[in-house]
Every structure is written in structure tokens, then in C-alpha cells.
Amino acid sequence: MTLDDDIDNLVRIPLFALFEPNALRTLAISAETRLLRAGDILFRRGDASDGGYVLTMGSIAIDPYDDGRPATQILYPWTLIGETALVSPSIRPASATAREPTTALKIGRPLFHMILEQHPTTAARLRDLFRERLVEFTRDAAGYPANDA
């Protein structure tokens, strides 16, 4: 897969669709590739987060229980895992395990913040996205009807 292919696939992820072309290029070039075998742990529930992952090949099982129950979700390529961890430190709420040979791009929080600092238009777009999400979350939590106007 070429760099241009990676960039084309990254824009399929809503968060990265807001990135300027040069910001996407920096992300695609600078992200660390992680190769996992079936059964390898990407991260464990309770781990401190240090960034997010983009699944590029294979599949990842998400398990919030770590008690032998089946995974609650199976993720497939071009899914962003750990969006919040890109922005701020957090604790992983679930474990992520490769179900088959899997490749993921690790986007460390420092890289993500550097991209936002170097690309203010991208940063402004993401700020607006997160603000809209927060307003929607707050409205839903308060039980207000959607604003159709």
C-alpha cells in the first residue's frame, strides 16, 4: 500500500476527514506501525493511554470485562480506536486483542498535538467537532429534544 493509499483510507475516518491534506500526510508518515499476531494484546483495560490506533488490516476484539466473556465488539480496518486518548490522558476502558494477524497505526498523543499546532485550520475544525459533540451530549443527558431549527 502506498502513502497516498493510506491517506485516502484515513479520510474514511470522520475525525481525519477534517484534516488538511498536509496534516494527513504528516500523520500517515509519522504514525508508528504495530504488527500483531492473533492473540496479541494491543492494550489492556486499565492501562494509561498514550494515544490512539488506526486499524489498517485484520481485526481487533474489544473486551471491557477481562473475565472470559466474549468480546463486546469486533473492529475492522480503517477504524479509529482510542479517539479520546489522542486529546488527553485517560485510562483504557477495555482491552483490545488481535483476532488474526493485524496491523495498526499508533498515533501518539504528542504527534497528534504537534499536528494540531502546525495546522491551525485542522485544529479549528476539530475544536468545532468536539464542541458540537459536547453540546449534543449535554442536550441528550438533560433530556432536551433535538434542535430541528
CATH number at residue 81: 2.60.120.10
Contact 120, 75 (CB under 8 A): no
Query: Per the domain annotation, does 148 fall within a domain?
Result: no
- Tell me how many domains the chain contains: 1
pLDDT at residue 3, as a whole number: 86
pLDDT at residue 36, as a whole number: 98
Q: Which helix (H) or strand (E) holds 84?
A: helix 83-87
Q: Is the pTM of this model over 0.85?
A: yes
pLDDT at residue 146, as a whole number: 64
Residue range 39-64, pLDDT digits in tens = 999 999 999 999 999 999 999 999 99
Query: Per the domain annotation, does 149 fall within a domain?
Result: no
* 55, burial (CB in 10 Å: exposed 0-12, middle 13-18, buried 19+): buried
The residue type at 30 = S
**How far apart, in whole angstroms, are the C-alpha atoms of residue 39 and residue 94?**
15
**How far apart, in whole angstroms, are the C-alpha atoms of residue 123 and residue 19?**
8
Query: Per the domain annotation, does 117 fall within a domain?
Result: yes
Query: Per the domain annotation, does 71 fall within a domain?
Result: yes
Query: Per the domain annotation, does 124 fall within a domain?
Result: yes
Give me the residues of the chain with pLDDT under 50, please.
149
The residue type at 14 = P
Query: Beta partners for 11?
Result: none
- Residue 58, domain extent: 3-142
pLDDT at residue 67, as a whole number: 81
Query: Per the domain annotation, does 147 fall within a domain?
Result: no
pLDDT at residue 139, as a whole number: 87
Q: Which helix (H) or strand (E) holds 36?
A: strand 32-36
Contact 50, 110 (CB under 8 A): no
